[in-house]
Structure 1
């Protein structure tokens, strides 16, 4: 039995973690499951290089709750840890105080710092246990325990335990909601639904052979191969639509999709959709889900995705964006600006492609697409330049024209004595029918401008 203190001071780290490192307590589950995924992926890498003896076997990560005992367990069959590794990764975080600790880690990704991600568990637990056995031949089972103070106990034994690690959280009274199956399943589907290792969830049945055994071993809650990880050439239009409805079960059919895939100078994959939006578009924002190596990060993507594209739906995945995205990071990191520019370019290129290759369908969907394109024109100068070749104006006869096409159509009959081209438009063809008919009687063509952004767009166009 080993007893000791965590870190190199007697200062209690746990209130620091609760107050500063994680603003949302539910993030603890993401951190613990992601650590389990990391341990599993490392084992697979070792096996692929011939550095591991034996069979990989079932690598499913198992999560279970015992509501009555307020227990939550996360079990993996990854690389596990020896006593020395537990001491290095868990006990010797080596901080000299809260300020130094936060200065070092506040803008870094937590995943990859096993000890830090693990310590998020103390936001919700009165006591935490680690039962682990390394994949290395001859390893003993290590049992570590801590009640939320800097003191811990650790012992090695010949106790039966499968290769890998089990984390047991003895949840606090204040966090008892995390012992409810519905709550945990909700969080798993939010944060872990696309992790690359199968995750099974169920209720604890019993403790057997060194691990908690759950009742629903086949209740896999995640998709290990999300659509954005596949090659666009291998995906059908039906699959794109099915994936959209997986993300947004109550959503209408999307208008179009855009598959993002780039490896240099940064890594980014994803699928974005143009949803149907007509009037109150503000409520449609924050529908893009941001992932880092298939781990959910946030749906607050301002600063990563240009403002007007926050109206889009879908998911993007980039390992170049850390899990704990901060405003200071977004403002200072050069990759974020490159990602934003890339997405703008890809959206513009896709719209141009759709316009060039399927204009009748593009026109058919224009009334839904217009708000995206106008919003982009009004807020992004680079997009505005590209959009002139696929921006459409609709006249009161229901015909569509690009600005250049429309100028060619009306210049002979709507150029005044100062050689200024005059465009006529109406915001309500019914209420202003008399004026509209009078204009048409003189041979003038009249545009219909009655969308939520049309007044702003007209002012922008006139200023140009």
Structure 2
């Protein structure tokens, strides 16, 4: 293949512009990313060689080598892993993580700190080399291809790159960084070794550099021909916990997740019994960009007897914990474990259940630190709620971890704390779901509860309505939506109030009948409310019916939702409702009352223009 010039994908060009303008606040990151890529290439070879040992090509020892040349002003990171063919070099080095390209660019904001977190998440760590280099050359040959099918890729980080065929005897990849004039401090053995020890010590492959010795005659360090291993070269998770520092756990997480922030918590355990495995699990401090994409591959790294098997073992963690990062190293699974086997294996089920228990226990412990738990919950609380419908075995544990806004608390509150504050005689935990917290706080359905000083939990996550359908009680106390069914406060409502409500309903019967007739196409029923104090009307649904909000969410998601007819409750003592009796504009008033109640709970009138005409007409007559 003669030398060919290709243009970068447009998004890569944008990325390179950001990178070359110091995207990373810490330029040392480039070495971490490139060594991590080299390690991944070796893992991939090891995995492919399970079915084709010939790929080792008489060189079974996998390693990464880091070298520098002061005269040429280059740093070279070489691995003897899977390597790339010419087409793979074009595909992988000319485009950004194909599935997430548009998402990636949409997230770029120009803010160095937030943009830096995205680099590794989108598989674009290679481009971090341009932080220190004004030109990068990649020479590679895929394992199994003849020496004549090597490839050289090179770019100055502008709009294009060149690809040409080369002769390469060794399989694997060499990344050669031609350093900028202001980055020559990296042409230093001690500097590079220190960065590797800090960021890549956990990598289970040997990372080697040429040894240096002091030359007394020259009064300087000189490079020796021997290569020395500069990392521990044993998997961090395989070491005893007492031998791993907090800093090492944190740096391992950053390499594993390509996250620039430290995790909130981690747990490292060796599990023994019928299924033996080691787990090292992390709770991140912030959500990934595609948290709500349930189709994306997510999961933790799976190793079997320290052999890398797959990056995102979805079967080892339930979907509602898809944000957990970490590693599982199993002693029991077969090395040729397939995705089909993963789904069916008894051992995999045991590992998934063990991982789930461990994460929930970590969250329970984390919840004792209010500030850290608030950070976690802001990022992942809504996803955690999915577990109410997906993980019946752990529903009670999940419920204890949930936090909600409340009508009486400035901070979010747990269900257990709500229970502890319940009034004497209160028989249910009351809650209200709405489109937004503001809509929930201002809902007319809360008026009686406020008057009585009864706390109501406020829920505005899209998942709440669905999730709460699986949580009917908490520690023996039923959960009751204030927007469903008739309000029965039991002992919290005195006899005089009940009697007054019954008398109002009796005296208002003729008006109710006319309202039912006028609103028969919109309302399932019309009745006098016992929950309204200041507002003229509100909408509720019957027990067991879909809420109006859930019906709207299903329609927005393109799903089939049954037609929900709400119940209109009216406040018989309100001046606007009193005007209904004998009004010449009864139907217009009735329609306006219904539409206003719909607006108050976050909906829109079926015919907004007709609503405006009616309101204008009534105002003119007034």
Mark the CA change 1:221 to 1:248 in structure 2 (over 3 Å): closer, same or farther. farther
In structure 2, the residue matched to 1:423 is: 431
| Counterpart pick for 1:258 among 250, 264, 267 | 267
Q: Which sections of structure 1, spanning at least 5 residues, go unmatched?
A: 1-23, 43-58, 65-71, 76-121, 128-168, 203-214
TM-score of the pair, normalised by structure 2: 0.40
Return the alpha-carbon distance in structure 1 between the equivalents of residues 170 and 289 of structure 2: 39
Counterpart check, 1:125 vs 2:144: yes
- Give secondary structure in 2 for the equivalent of 1:289: strand
Residue among 368, 373, 392 paired with 1:381: 392
What is the distance in 2 between the residues matched to 1:73 and 1:427? 53
| Secondary structure of 2:312's aligned partner | coil
1:368 to 334, 355, 379: 379
CA shift at 1:241, angstroms? 2.0
Contact 2:207 2:229 in 1 (8 A): yes
1:5 — aligned with what? none
Give 3-state SS (helix, strand or coil) of 1:300's partner: strand
Label 1:336 to 1:287 Cα distance change in 2 as closer, same or farther (>3 A): closer
What per-residue deviation string (whole Å, max 9, x for no partner) do you get for residues 364-423 of structure 1? 54323413532333211122132233333332533343323313423548x4xxx55533
Contact 2:209/2:230 (<8 A) preserved: yes
Q: CA deviation at 1:301?
A: 1.0
Please point out which of 299, 307, 312 is paired with 2:324: 312
Separation in 2, partners of 1:178, 1:270: 43
CA gap of 1:219–1:390, structure 2 versus 1, over 3 A, is same
How far, CA to CA, are the matches of 1:428 and 1:453 in structure 2? 12
RMSD over equivalenced CA pairs, Å: 4.9
1:3-402 correspondence runs (5 A): 27-28=44-45, 30=47, 124-125=143-144, 171=149, 184=173, 196=204, 198-200=206-208, 218=227, 224-275=233-284, 276-277=286-287, 280-283=290-293, 286=298, 288-355=300-367, 357-359=368-370, 361-363=372-374, 365-396=376-407, 397-402=409-414
TM-score between the two structures when normalised by the length of structure 1: 0.52
8 A contact 1:289–1:315 mirrored in 2: yes
What is the aligned partner in structure 2 of residue 435 from structure 1? 443
Q: Displacement, 1:268?
A: 1.5
Q: How many residues align?
A: 308
User: Offset of 1:265 from its aligned partner?
Assistant: 2.3
Conservation of the 8 A alpha-carbon contact between 2:148 and 2:165: no
Q: Partners in 1 of 2:324 and 2:243 — Cα distance?
A: 23
Does 2:418 align with 1:406? yes
Q: Shift of residue 344 of structure 1?
A: 1.5
Q: Which runs of 5+ in 2 are unaligned?
A: 1-40, 67-77, 82-140, 152-163, 176-195, 211-223, 479-622
The aligned residue for residue 133 of structure 1 is none
Residues 248, 422 of structure 1: CA spacing in aligned structure 2 closer, same or farther, 3 A cutoff?
closer
Q: Say which structure, 1 or 2, has more relative contact order (CA 8 Å, 6+ apart).
A: 1
Deviation, 1:342, is 1.2
- Which of the pair has more CA radius of gyration? 2
- Structure 2 contact 266–280 (Cα < 8 Å) conserved: yes
CA distance in 2, matches of 1:446, 1:177: 71
Which residue is equivalent to 1:447?
A: 457
The SS at the match of 1:461 is coil
Structure 1 Cα separation of the partners of residues 441 and 360 of structure 2: 36
Cα 1:450/1:184, change in 2 over 3 Å: farther
Asked if the contact 1:177/1:183 (under 8 Å) is kept, the reply is: no
Pairwise CA distance, 1:431: 4.2
Q: Would you say the 8 A contact 2:401–2:414 is kept in 1? A: yes
Q: Are 2:440 and 2:459, in contact at CA under 8 Å, matched by a contact in 1?
A: no
Q: Is the 1:394–1:401 Cα contact (8 Å) retained in structure 2?
A: yes
Structure 1 314/176 Cα, relative in aligned 2: closer, same or farther at 3 Å? farther
